Structure 1
Amino acid sequence: MSQSQVKDGMIYFSGGSRGVLLFHAYTGSPNDVRMLGRFLNGHGYSVGLPTFSGHGTVDPENILSKGPADWWEDVKASIDFLKRQGVKEIAVFGLSLGGVYGIKCLEEYGDELVGGGAFSSPVLPETENNIFPVFLDYARKLIKNNGASQLTENRRMENIEYQLTKQLEAIKQLQTEVRMKLGEIKQPVMLVQGGRDRLIDPEAIFEAVKYFTQTEPRVFLYPNSGHVVTIGNERRQFQEDVLSFLTDIQWTKETG
């Protein structure tokens, strides 16, 4: 299997006619899901790892200059990209915020997608989380690493805090919209959660399951994993579980 870098930060592992899209986390990059992508590609799947607009940068303000609408455009572009590569059927997954978009794909694209899921994702808007302080810590570290003066750091952080508040409100609106359509999903769904997640409430996954009324999500729990379950110490079992989930999906077209 081969790897090629394409525009807008999209990483593509060429494989067969069955494809998988893996969306990274908020403030993250394709590195969040690269190991899973390589693993699935090794089993014959074509795999796309998009980069959300504003991400993969040393300037936290770049993330805040974009928003949910931009990221949804990135998602749609990645689906179109796989189709142009000759991929006939697509499954979609994502980590954290990326998983919210994975679920949104299942809602909006319907039977154009064969299934998908979310890893450590705050699918419901009321999910308790520590995203605000974690982002501020992340931003401050980037600014310090860039050698900014204390005065510059303080000014940038003040602006970042204001912009972050607005962006998280927009993300909560996205979550609300996604929650409203969970009952419309009919495709197979995989929901993953690490028991040692400190970014979101690990118990929220059980509340989310209740909203899926036309499909029964398969829930996978990894008690010794944190938020980034894709690279945690239970990642090998996690990878095998994702592969098993994909194997069980009713793909309708021949491989090749």
Structure 2
Amino acid sequence: MQTKLPEPFFFEGNEKAIILFHAFTGTSNDVRMLGRRLNREGYTVYAPQLTGHATEDVFNLVAPGNPQTWLTDGQKAYDELKKRGYQKIAAFGLSLGGTIATSVLLNNDVIGGGVFNTPIVTNQPITESNVPGSFMLFADQMLKRNGLNDNEIQAQKPQLQTQLTDTLQGIAAINASLRNRINEIQVPFYIAASGQDELVDPTAGEQFADAITTAPVDLNVFPSATHVITVGKYHHEFETTVIDYLTTLNWE
């Protein structure tokens, strides 16, 4: 029986529109609970799916050129909301999604946005974080689900590892370019940081907050939360801080 794959979602609400971007190897399900909560508060919420995600082929996640394609996906999401008539837009993302959201924020007329556990400013290169190891475990599961035996999986790994390294280096290059533009952030910026982040540097959020000097920063540290804060044990508290931040924005 074929697995039903997650799909993008668009929850229509009022004229205040929010884009939510999911994480690397994730899907729109990463941000669906947050999207539902924001929609109950009245907001229109759009969560696109980044290219290569929500498929049954793990190689799609690390296809050549993906990082730049994801930036294009982010811009298309913003353009889609504008096309639908939404003028006031905020953009957020989890991990990789936060990189995309920050790019959207810097390149478009948005009224706010932010990141959830996104290592844009960090002392730990993403290739030296726990992301590569976590990805290879995830890839093992995906390949097994597709019916490959252990020998076949081992045969796929060198190519997968090469493409993963290229992809992570591409993400790191985008984060470096965003770091060089931090002083262009001119709208209130939200940051969520999990103190028990098991994948990336748990101090990255605080470092990012310290680096922003041109706009108000709403930093929220959750000492006991882990990486995927949007669906973890503390998601209610996290959602409340996002809602509180949104009420401070200039939606008029």
TM range (shorter): over 0.9
Amino acid across the alignment from 2:74: V
Residue in 2 that maps onto 1:60 = 58
Amino acid across the alignment from 1:68: P
Identity %: 33
Residue in 2 that maps onto 1:36 = 34
Residue in 1 that maps onto 2:69 = 70
- 206-215 vs 48-57, which moves further: 206-215
Gap runs ≥5 in structure 1: 1-7
Structure 1 residue 67: Cα displacement = 1.2
For residue 111 of structure 2, the aligned residue among 88, 110, 114 is: 114
CA distance in 1, matches of 2:115, 2:124: 14
Residues 14 and 41 of structure 1 are in contact (CA less than 8 Å); yes or no, is this contact kept in structure 2? yes
Amino acid across the alignment from 2:81: L
Amino acid across the alignment from 1:92: A
Residues 187 and 216 of structure 2 are in contact (CA less than 8 Å); yes or no, is this contact kept in structure 1? no
CA distance in 2, matches of 1:76, 1:201: 27
**CA deviation digits over 1:119-168, x for unaligned, max 9?**
01111264352111111111111111222023321121111001111111
Residues 16 and 87 of structure 1 are in contact (CA less than 8 Å); yes or no, is this contact kept in structure 2? no
Residue in 1 that maps onto 2:197 = 197
**CA deviation digits over 1:13-40, x for unaligned, max 9?**
0111110000000000000000000110
Structure 1 residue 216: Cα displacement = 2.8
**CA deviation digits over 1:209-235, x for unaligned, max 9?**
232120131110111210011111111
**CA deviation digits over 1:72-131, x for unaligned, max 9?**
11111111111222222100000001011111222111xx10000000111126435211
CA distance in 2, matches of 1:43, 1:205: 26
CA distance in 2, matches of 1:37, 1:22: 8
Structure 1 residue 60: Cα displacement = 0.9
- 219-228 vs 9-18, which moves further: 9-18
Residue in 2 that maps onto 1:99 = 98
**SS class of match (1:51):** coil
How many residues were matched structurally?
243
RMSD: 1.5
Amino acid across the alignment from 1:20: I
CA distance in 1, matches of 2:210, 2:195: 19
**CA deviation digits over 1:173-199, x for unaligned, max 9?**
011001000111010000101111110
Amino acid across the alignment from 1:233: K
Matches for 1:72-221 after TM superposition, within 5 Å:
72-109=71-108, 112-124=109-121, 126-127=123-124, 129-221=129-221
Structure 1 residue 240: Cα displacement = 1.1
TM-score of the two chains, using structure 1 as the length reference: 0.91
The list of structure 1 runs, each at least 4 consecutive aligned residues, that deviate by more than 3 angstroms after superposition, is 125-128
Residue in 2 that maps onto 1:19 = 17
Amino acid across the alignment from 1:182: I
Residues 195 and 223 of structure 2 are in contact (CA less than 8 Å); yes or no, is this contact kept in structure 1? yes
Residue in 2 that maps onto 1:10 = 8
TM-score of the two chains, using structure 2 as the length reference: 0.92
Amino acid across the alignment from 2:66: G
CA distance in 2, matches of 1:116, 1:127: 24
Amino acid across the alignment from 1:96: S
Residue in 1 that maps onto 2:3 = none
CA distance in 1, matches of 2:203, 2:170: 24
- 82-91 vs 131-140, which moves further: 82-91
